[in-house]
Amino acid sequence: MKNLCKVLIPLIIMSFFVTGCPKKKPDPSQTVMSQGSGEGAIGGDMDLDSNYDPDRNGAAGEGLQDRNSGGDFSRQVRGQLQSVYFAFDQSHIRPSERAKAQAAASYLQSNPNKGILIEGYCDWRGTTEYNLGLGDRRASSVRSYLESLGINPSRVQVVSKGDLEAVVNGSSQQMAEDRRAELVVLE
State pLDDT tens for residues 16-37: 444 444 444 444 444 444 333 3
State pLDDT tens for residues 86-124: 999 999 999 999 999 999 999 999 999 999 999 999 999
Cα–Cα distance between 130 and 139 in angstroms, integer? 14
Asked if residues 81 and 97 have their Cβ atoms less than 8 Å apart, the reply is no
User: pTM of the entire structure?
Assistant: 0.64
Among 34, 185, 182, smallest CA distance to 113 is for: 185
State pLDDT tens for residues 117-144: 999 999 999 999 999 999 999 999 999 9
Q: Residues 162, 86, 123, CA angle at the centre, nearest 5°? A: 35
- Sequence length of the chain is 187
